[in-house]
Structure 1
Amino acid sequence: MLNSLKTYYRLKRSDFLSQLRLKILGPNVTGLMIKSQNGTIVVDPEDVGVGWELAKNGVYGQDLLDALLPLIGPESKVLVAGAHVGSLAIPLAKVAAEVTAFEANPNTYRYLELNRQLNQSNNLTLIPLALGSSSGTLQFLLSRVNSGGSKRLPKQAHIAYYSDKPEVVDVAMTAADETLPDATFDLIIMDIEGSEADALKGMPNLLSRAKYLFIEYLPHHLDLVAGVTDEEFVALLSPHFFTAKHHGSDLTGQSPNLLPFFKSLRELGGGDVLMTK
């Protein structure tokens, strides 16, 4: 859990590796191009999250892609909330008819734009906005060591969110239903580091029309970043989806009461969840 000594040392190790990589590469390297199974992906040299995994293993999130790709086909439309550098959005765009991707981090968005061009993902539409319950601005942490962990300003400060001394900036925010009022997506993927509940509030119409929602549920994001209870989180999902399956175990849940599923998943430390009609 976040309070453990193991987590503290993991964060310090990641910061050390990030700074070591920057020192070796020098100040003039602004991106690393990696030819991977996800596509040709340029990453921030400082990132030792997704960037490290792509460089080391030549693939990122293969287990996620194995779960997501069977849900779509050549006529499918996909929405990715929290696209990061495109390591999932780009391979999904090779299969789907259209992919629309939101990315709030302005630094990461620049890599995402470049990666779209490098992979000739012409059916990938990029939107440089955070998702929330309404239009406005949002205070946002630009995580450096793990740029995929960038997030809205947490309700409660914790070393796990501030260990790499992230810059705090204002980013533009929208409600998905306002920006995409007439859209229909077969699959919605949401990994936005604690903004999930607020984003769900701004997209009831999109959720009602979607076949699948693949969403990250992490208790510490819900508790410390969003300040949202499991009951409040489930209330946003229940009107639109009737079954839940944990990606990574046999844990499942079903309406009319999805709360026990998420309570059990909390005991496991959270994870990715596939919601279906």
Structure 2
Amino acid sequence: MPDEVSDIIWSALRDGSYEAKEARWAVKAARPKDRILELGSGIGVITSLLAAVDGTQVMAFEANPHTVTLAEKVIRANNRNNVELRQGLLTAGPPQDFTFYVREDLWMSSLLEHQGPYLKTIKIQSTNIDEFIRQANIDLIVMDIEGAELDLLKGAELPGVERVFLEFHDHLYGLEGIRHLTSAMADKGFAYDPRGSSGPCVLFSRNTDPRSYEAEDIHAAA
């Protein structure tokens, strides 16, 4: 794999820092037997961790074909047979064609041209996320989609979804974008859940059942 990713990503993988914080909190958002939709699976690290939670079924989407190939290797290496990985794009509203910008650092690839220099572009036709959620009976959505979460969560209904875990990209849309996003989630019945959030890694929950803070959460917040 060293010759398949950038030096920055390979270094992060070797020292264990690659998506470490996001991975920790994403896994905490998952519950046994969850049906999980992951958007922006990257190279499959978090995908594999979510699939390790007892009884889960993970349906993962990644727009970049090359990244999907790497993720398949990681998922196989971790012996996860409860993952469905697809190359594609889920968005709010009817299917439409999008331009996806592929960058040297895979985690920077996105739908946003202004995010920085890119190596190439690919055309992708989207699938309606709400239709997929209804068909797959999704409980939890985990997403890291480099800023596209703003438009997606403003426009989608998210029928039946209990929890949404995401990483804010406020450097792309500012605090005003976060305000619009959190307001849209509140309109759908979701609340910011501090028990599953840390910095830009944020959990939104519909479930109102009381949950106690775990000791490790209190220690992390101190």
Structure 2-normalised TM-score?
0.78
Q: Is the 8 A contact 2:29 2:165 kept in 1?
A: no
Hey, what's the Cα distance between the residues in 2 that align with 1:115 and 1:92?
A: 13
Which of these residues, 141, 146, 151, is aligned with residue 110 of structure 2? 151
Alignment match, 2:214:
none
Which of these residues, 69, 86, 89, is aligned with residue 44 of structure 2? 86
**1:233 maps to amino acid:** L
CA-based RMSD of the aligned residues comes to 2.5
Q: Is the 8 A contact 2:47 2:75 kept in 1?
A: no
Hey, what's the Cα distance between the residues in 2 that align with 1:186 and 1:179?
A: 12
Hey, what's the Cα distance between the residues in 2 that align with 1:230 and 1:73?
A: 26
Structure 2: gaps (5+ residues): 207-222
Which of these residues, 188, 198, 201, is aligned with residue 248 of structure 1? 198
**1:243 maps to amino acid:** Y
Alignment match, 1:189:
142
Which of these residues, 21, 37, 43, is aligned with residue 63 of structure 1? 21
Q: Is the 8 A contact 1:197 1:236 kept in 2?
A: no
Q: Is the 8 A contact 1:176 1:203 kept in 2?
A: yes
- Greater RCO between the two (CA within 8 Å, min separation 6)? 2
Alignment match, 1:217:
168
Alignment match, 1:25:
none
Structure 1: gaps (5+ residues): 1-30, 33-42, 250-270
Q: Is the 8 A contact 1:140 1:153 kept in 2?
A: yes
Hey, what's the Cα distance between the residues in 1 that align with 2:190 and 2:136?
A: 18
Task: Tell me the percent identity.
Answer: 26
| Distance apart, 1:231 and its partner CA | 4.6
Hey, what's the Cα distance between the residues in 2 that align with 1:236 and 1:44?
A: 38
| Distance apart, 1:200 and its partner CA | 2.3
Greater displacement, 125-134 / 103-112: 125-134
Which of these residues, 203, 215, 218, is aligned with residue 274 of structure 1? 203
**2:182 maps to amino acid:** V
Alignment match, 2:128:
175
Change (3 A) 1:235 1:71: closer
Residue by residue, what CA displacement relative to the aligned partner does 1:36-62 show, whole Å, maximum 9, x if unpaired? xxxxxxx8232523x32112x146333
Structure 1-normalised TM-score?
0.64
Q: Is the 8 A contact 2:25 2:201 kept in 1?
A: no
> Would you say 1:124 and 2:80 are equivalent positions?
no
Q: Is the 8 A contact 2:99 2:111 kept in 1?
A: yes
Hey, what's the Cα distance between the residues in 2 that align with 1:140 and 1:70?
A: 30
Hey, what's the Cα distance between the residues in 1 that align with 2:98 and 2:191?
A: 31
| Distance apart, 1:113 and its partner CA | 2.0
Which of these residues, 85, 109, 112, is aligned with residue 71 of structure 2? 112
Which of these residues, 90, 97, 100, is aligned with residue 137 of structure 1? 97
Alignment match, 1:200:
153
Change (3 A) 1:199 1:127: farther
Change (3 A) 1:202 1:113: farther
| Distance apart, 1:126 and its partner CA | 0.9
Aligned length: 201
Change (3 A) 1:79 1:125: same
Hey, what's the Cα distance between the residues in 1 that align with 2:28 and 2:121?
A: 38
**1:232 maps to amino acid:** H
Residue by residue, what CA displacement relative to the aligned partner does 1:115-144 show, whole Å, maximum 9, x if unpaired? 222322110011211222231221111011
